[in-house]
Chains A and B, each alone.
Chain A
Amino acid sequence: MTFPPPTSTRPTSTAPTSAASATAVSGTARTTARVLTDADGRRIAPWQLVVRYVLLLAVLALTVGPFLWQLSTSLKGPQEDIFSSPPTFFPSDPTLDNYGRVADTIPVWDYAYNSLKVALASVVTNCVGAALAGYALARMRYRGRRAATLAFILAMLVPVEGIIIAQFTTMRDLGLNNSLLGVLLPGSIGAMNVLLMRNAFLSLPDEVEEAAYVDGANVWQRFLMIAMPSVKGTLAVVAIFAFMGAWDDFLWPLIVLSDPENYTLTVGLNYLHGTFATDERLVAAGTVIAVLPLIILFACLQRYFFRGVGEGAVKG
């Protein structure tokens, strides 16, 4: 099942039949200049619309408000009272000072750079590894394919939180604890991503590849030139979730990294929060640095985020 991106269904205000029947039923319905209808062409009464928007705004305040409050706190100067009651939502004298000061307290830009390195590496390893393995599971024939598929399914079912200590001892044995490579490796090729790619390859028709085969294309050519271009959408989903997963991860880097020099941003923020009797303005600035890249990414690539939820949920 594929998830229909919610944004794809625009309001269809031209549904004459149902609009007309609605008017006929209600008889004396006022004929407004613009009749508001939903995706199915059903009319929405004005009072209903008002209630809806009020509720929407209330939820909006609840979900986005805390982020804005954090942003506001991060922009308040040292003289401004951040604890005032009633609260002041707009900084009286907005300043970017706190972003400089947080960098004096912890090497926040180094941490961000570490996170970025791990996240980008994770995107590459997941895309390449999952595409290769997914192709092998979906479109190649060999003995042991079932066993390989089963291995990925089992791996997907193993809860990360339950094996974290064993992963930690594995990393120690490999001498990779306290390194960014150690942070990257366990999530470098997600079993779920492999299965997502497998499903994407499975849904391609065989005929095109067969034609290429007849034309003499070998397996690498078929993989790169024919199969890959057809699964770009799923690949984008894998890339986004690999980035988000690596950038947002906390428990694993917390366990594997012991030296503050190698911290990723999430572990660094926890350190900032816990170690110093903190100025809330600094923590706020740090969290804004951590969340902004993802919000921008999300704003640009929403439909892949939503699509990933659909595919992932059906899988999981």
Chain B
Amino acid sequence: MKSTIASRAYPPDPAAAGLAPRSPGSGRGPRRGPGSGQGRRISRQLPFSPWLFAAPGLLVVGAFSLLPFLSTVVNSFTDRRVLVAGDYVGLANFRELVHDEMFWTGLRNSTLYVVCVVPALVVLPLLLALLVRRNIPGIAFFRSAFYTPVVASIVVVGLIWVWMLDDRGLVNSLLETVGIGKIGFLSDQWLLLFSAMAVTVWKGLGYYMIIYLAALADVPRELHEAAAVDGAGAVRRFFTVTVPAVRSTMVLVGALSSVAAFKVFSEVYLMAGPTGGPAGEDTTLVMLVQRVGTGLTGRVGYASAISVVVFVVTVALMLLVLRADRKEDA
């Protein structure tokens, strides 16, 4: 029976078979479904139909992700502008970057964003997941409610918090009511940046909470019980049982959130304004890319050079987090 299918696995038509030669091992994805080990991919198909299936996806991804990536790298070595083709200028853009104060401001802010936001997004959602983990009455409602900020557009979230943190907004009128007095969240350079970070954390909590919930579901209950029998309290169990059990998830969350944090744009853009707060001091790297590279006089070459820095740092962050993971293993 099996051999019947196998013998039909390739089109009997020799021309088609010639176009799709059988090369053992090649064309096998790293992950294969159950049963795919014995069965061969069956193909009563025209020789070009796989490409017909894949074409729209490949076209979109090629034209709007892969090619732009290449052209970003190429453009970073040119003085291309939006309306001017530009010439090869070697490393001039990168040399300019080193002396560009705004670039250093952007790099500082984006880095600071990672340093402050990532620890919060690794720890707080885990605590939240522990809080909603037990199936007490009404818990499904709470889980959904905590997820709401994830669903909302970042623009909506940004504008909500601009209003909340306004000099005359809800937070300040509450602070006044309890006698603390107003705080200019949106006028001070540093308070603005930290407020934006808080908003990022606020919006991300629910998302990472769901990831942690899935991980917690896999923690064997016996571990907790054994620890409890040994007299470990809740805090102790958290550090000796829960944290080691979800450590790989914490690394995943760390990697995801650090990459996202470094590329921050919308929160700061909305709260500090397009020019990045007082004297542009709250500008992030991606804001700088947007400001420098768009508009009719946009400097595509220079903006591409900044983008290349964004790529490099993003990849470095991923590697750093993954390496930290391996070190802990050793």
Contact = CB atoms under 8 A, between A and B. Distances in A.
Interface of A: 1, 3-4, 6-7, 9-12, 36, 38-40, 44, 49, 52-53, 55-56, 59-60, 62-64, 66-67, 69-70, 73, 83-87, 125, 128-130, 132-133, 135-146, 148-149, 151-152, 154-155, 158-159, 161-170, 172, 185-186, 188-189, 191, 194, 198-199, 201-207, 209-210, 213-214, 216-219, 223, 244, 247-251, 254-255, 265-266, 269-270, 273-274, 280, 283-284, 286-287, 290-291, 294-295, 297-299, 302, 305-306, 309-310, 313, 316
B289 A159 contact: no
B45 A213 contact: no
8 contacts: A36-B137, A86-B173, A145-B50, A158-B68, A162-B311, A162-B314, A248-B153, A294-B152
Contacts of B177: 85-87
B148 A203 contact: no
Contact of B202 (A63, A137, A164, A185): A63
Nearest to B73: A166
B45 A219 contact: yes
A149 B61 CA distance: 11
A39 B272 CA distance: 45
Interface centre among A163, A170, A204 (most CB of B within 10 A): A163
B159 interface: yes
B148 A63 contact: yes
B134 interface: yes
Nearest to B304: A165
Given A141-B27, A162-B314, A274-B273, A83 B33 contact: no
Contacts of B176: 85
A313 B211 contact: yes
Interface stretch (B89-97, B115-123, B259-267, B320-328): B259-267
Contact of B42 (A11, A137, A203, A210): A210
A194 B58 CA distance: 10
Given A166-B69, A283-B163, A185 B64 contact: yes
Contact of B310 (A56, A59, A62, A162): A162
B71 A270 contact: no
Contact of A136 (B50, B142, B161): B50
Closest 10 CB pairs of A and B: A133-B57, A166-B68, A141-B41, A136-B53, A248-B153, A85-B173, A38-B134, A165-B293, A155-B65, A186-B64
B301 to A, nearest CB: 9
Interface in B255-308: 256, 259, 263, 265-266, 270, 273-274, 286, 289-290, 293-294, 298, 300, 303-304, 307-308
Interface residues of B, number: 119
Given A59-B146, A283-B163, A132 B54 contact: yes
Nearest to B311: A162
B63 interface: yes
Contacts of B319: none
B211 A155 contact: no
B32 A202 contact: yes
A139 B207 CA distance: 32
B27 A164 contact: no
B330 interface: no
Nearest to A185: B64
Interface majority SS on B: helix, strand, loop or mixed?
helix
Given A140-B43, A166-B304, A250-B154, 4 more contacts: A85-B177, A141-B43, A265-B153, A273-B159
Given A137-B29, A138-B33, A218-B45, A313 B54 contact: no
Interface stretch (B164-172, B185-193, B239-247): B164-172
Contacts of A159: 259, 263, 310-311, 314
A270 B8 contact: no
Nearest to A142: B50
Nearest to A145: B27
B80 to A, nearest CB: 8
Given A83-B173, A205-B33, A60 B213 contact: no
B206 A63 contact: yes
Contact of B60 (A87, A162, A189, A219): A189
A152 B57 contact: yes
Interface majority SS on A: helix, strand, loop or mixed?
helix
B256 to A, nearest CB: 6
A316 to B, nearest CB: 6
B102 to A, nearest CB: 16
A251 B284 CA distance: 14
A60 B138 CA distance: 12
A90 to B, nearest CB: 14
A204 B153 contact: no
Contact of A172 (B34, B82, B134, B170): B82
Contact of B20 (A52, A143, A295): A143
Interface string B98-136: 000000000000000000000000000000100111111
B223 interface: no
Nearest to A217: B44
Contacts of B63: 170
A273 B300 contact: no
A274 B159 CA distance: 10
A210 B97 CA distance: 59
B235 interface: no
Given A6-B213, A130-B57, A206 B148 contact: no
Contact of B140 (A7, A132, A191): A7
Interface in B18-38: 20-21, 23, 26-29, 31-36
Given A166-B72, A274-B273, A313-B252, A141 B161 contact: no
A248 B154 contact: yes
B274 A189 contact: no
